Structure formats: structure tokens, C-alpha cells
Structure 1
Amino acid sequence: MNHSIVIADDHPLMLRGLSDFLTSKGFNIVGSAQDGNAAYNLIVKLKPEIAILDIRMPHKTGLEVAEACKKNNLDTKVILITFDKEEEIYDKAIEVGVYGYILKEFAIEEIETCIAHVVNNRSYFSEEIASYLNHNNLGQKPKGLELLSKSELKIVKLIAENKTSQDIAEELSISVRTVEKHRSNVVAKLKLDNKPTSLSKWAGLNKNFL
């Protein structure tokens, strides 16, 4: 196991509890912080495989840390833990490329599963968030999935794994333009809006059906 992890949360009890839990499960907690600046500095210095960040922290939010990691091409995969259920915050998390999004009330139950997904380059978003955002009925196959071709479905699966169009193009040995065309077709078939994050959000919420 021994995956290197940095944890950041401005609530000491949450920070200590999550750190102790993951250590007991064999994970390597290489650093912890109680504010966003300290968390980002640890990520830059220690280059952990994963960073588990609270969204609302002093100096830098978890979202801002994730955005800085993306901007500076850091390889650390970010998992956000939060009490926030707002769609705008969830959309921003998708936009900045986080690999995991877990509600705090389910953190202990879901964190191991989330980490297992993330270390295999697969995204994990708490199923509970879907019910809060009313995007789909949990346990029911999403409408429109049967309309997708095999090629489109393959691309949507990779989008659910947080892959960019460039990543997908390289993995499938096709052009970025072809990937973007497939994405456009999928958005039309699923009747999604044209926001840049809409397909990524749909794929993340419905990854268990892909």
C-alpha cells in the first residue's frame, strides 16, 4: 500500500482523526497542515502521490490549492473533503481536475475506496453528492446512455477517469479534434448544456454505469 499522502484541514480533530485512521490502514502520511498555503508548500516540497484537502481553509481553500497544482503541473492527485453540497463548488472541483470529492460525514466510510480509485488514475465522487444535487436517481441507469456509440462510450469512460482530451487522444491514438467531436456528439445526445464542465460532471456522477 504505502502511498504517500499529505492531509490538510483547519479542524485539528478532523485532521488527527483522518491521519490516525489512514495510518492504521497502512497509508504513508508524509505531512499535514491546517491552512491552504502550508498544504500547498508541503505538496511542492514532498511531492506526495495524493493530497487530501478540506475545501474551506485559511489563506488558500482546497479548491485554490488544487487549481495551483494543476496550473503548475504537479503530479499530486487531489481529493477534496467537505460539508459543501453547492453545485457551483462541485462544478469548480471538476474544472480544476480533482480526482476525488467526498462529503465529510461519509469520509471515514469512503476514503479507502476513494484512494483505491485515485491511485489507479480513476476519479471517485461520493454517490451521496448526486442525490444532493439531484442530477440522477441513484441505482437507476441514466437516460441517454443507450444512444452512445462504442467509441463515444469509451471516451466518456476516460472522461470519468479525469482524463483530458489530450490524454484521451494519446491513449486511443486519435487526434484531439476527433476526441472533441465525439465529446460534442455525446453532449448533444445526452441533452447536456454547453458548459465546459457539464460532460465531466455527468461522467463522474454516472461512472458506475459506464
Structure 2
Amino acid sequence: MIRILIVDDHPVVRAGLTSMLDTQPGLEVIGSASTGVEALEIAARHKPDLMLLDLRMPAMNGIETLQELKKQKLPTRVIVLTNFEMDEDIYRAVQAGAHGYLLKSTTQEEMITAIQAVNQGRRHIPPRIAERLAERMSRSSLTARELEILEMMVKGLTNKQIGSALLISENTVRNHVNSILEKLEVQDRTEAATTAIQQGIISLT
């Protein structure tokens, strides 16, 4: 029997998944949680085999929950179940320790296949998602300073304004901007800002 914990801040999603999975032979939903904090408490207490984890939750999001799960050395394996397929979301989830990545629009059949595969120690990432992950991993990662500057670029700040805010020279900002353009494989600041938002590197919220 594969013991499953469902983690999602929407009650309808939790109820729907519980109802769907509990009727399947070999699967048992041992509980559900609406927050990452609650999920970690249940995981520590009941040691479920597998967690279906939403990415976007208030207070503690899915990535932070994954990181904490790893830090606490809890044995529960995790499939991220989300509406989002942004490159950065996929990359961060896998980096944080997710064993599978599914969209909420996935079929019941694929979800059960993924649960069984991950429970057996394998990864399950659909081909289209895997392709995007491979593309993201092939690009050089932005440094913390570059991310900081990119966020300011998205807000429309000039090199001079960025330099003033970060107490660095305009020339240093220009060098960082050039590096960002190269890593994102874009031609200019506008394209860099658009790409950063589309891929989920920078969030507007």
C-alpha cells in the first residue's frame, strides 16, 4: 500500500484528489494539509511514502517545503502537482528534491503511473516538462547579484539608478547587465525582462 499525503491550499483540490486516489487499489490517502508547515508536521508524525505537493501556497511555498523536508531528512518522496510549468519553477523544484513534476491537468492514469514510479525510487517528469528542464539546466545560472539587478531591470530602472541603489558604479552595472543578457540568450534589456517574467525567474507579485 502506497501511503499518500496531499498538500494544497485549495480544499476542493484536496477533496478531489483524496476521492480519486482513495478508490485506487494499492493507494491510501493518509491525510491532507493546506500549508507547508502542516505538511511537514504530518510527514514527521506519519511518515507517508509520498507527498503530492502544490507549489504556490501562502506562508511556506512548495519549494520551501521541499527544502525543509530535505533538511529534516524525512523519507517521504515528493511529486510536485501544480498549474505552473515555468522553467524556473520546474528547475527549482527538482533542485530542491522533487522526484516528479505533474500539471494539475494531467490524467488520472498518468498520475497513478507517476505515483507508482516515484514510490519505486524512479523519477517521473513528463517529456515536455523534461525538455524545458533540460533547456533551463543548460543555461548558466544567474548569480545572486545578477538576479538582484535583473529584478530592477524588470521594474524599469536604468543602469545609473541601479548603481545608485546598490552603491556600485554604472560601469559595474553594465558588466552585470551584459552577463545577464548572455546567460538568458537575449538581445536587450526589454527582452531580458520579458524572458525573466515568462520563465518565472522574476515574479511580479
Please report the TM-score for the alignment, with normalisation by the length of structure 2: 0.62
Pick closer, same or farther for the CA change 1:113–1:59 going to 2, 3 Å: same
1:47-126 correspondence runs (5 A): 47-106=47-106, 108-126=108-126
Across the two proteins, how many residue pairs are aligned to each other? 139
Pick closer, same or farther for the CA change 1:29–1:70 going to 2, 3 Å: same
What is the match of residue 10 of structure 2? Answer: 11
Q: Is the Cα–Cα contact under 8 Å of residues 7 and 35 in structure 2 kept in the other structure?
A: yes
What is the match of residue 44 of structure 1? Answer: 44
* Structure 1 runs not aligned, ≥5 long: 137-190, 196-210
Q: Secondary structure at the match of 1:105?
A: coil
What is the match of residue 24 of structure 2? Answer: 25
Q: Secondary structure at the match of 1:30?
A: strand
What is the match of residue 151 of structure 1? Answer: none
Q: Secondary structure at the match of 1:6?
A: strand
Pick closer, same or farther for the CA change 1:38–1:76 going to 2, 3 Å: same
| Percent pairwise identity | 32
- For 1:193 and 1:57, the matched residues in 2 are separated by 28
Q: Secondary structure at the match of 2:114?
A: helix
Deviation, structure 1 residue 120: 1.1
Q: Is the Cα–Cα contact under 8 Å of residues 19 and 29 in structure 1 kept in the other structure?
A: yes
- CA RMSD in angstroms comes to 2.1
Pick closer, same or farther for the CA change 1:135–1:34 going to 2, 3 Å: same
- For 1:92 and 1:192, the matched residues in 2 are separated by 14
Deviation, structure 1 residue 129: 2.1
Pick closer, same or farther for the CA change 1:32–1:134 going to 2, 3 Å: closer
Could you give the per-residue CA deviations for residues 27-65 of structure 1, whole angstroms, max 9, x where no partner exists?
A: 111111111111111111111111111111122112111
* Structure 2 runs not aligned, ≥5 long: 142-205
Deviation, structure 1 residue 130: 4.3
Deviation, structure 1 residue 119: 1.3
Q: Secondary structure at the match of 2:106?
A: helix
What is the match of residue 169 of structure 2? Answer: none
- For 1:57 and 1:100, the matched residues in 2 are separated by 18
Q: Is the Cα–Cα contact under 8 Å of residues 103 and 129 in structure 1 kept in the other structure?
A: no
Please report the TM-score for the alignment, with normalisation by the length of structure 1: 0.61
Could you give the per-residue CA deviations for residues 138-174 of structure 1, whole angstroms, max 9, x where no partner exists?
A: xxxxxxxxxxxxxxxxxxxxxxxxxxxxxxxxxxxxx
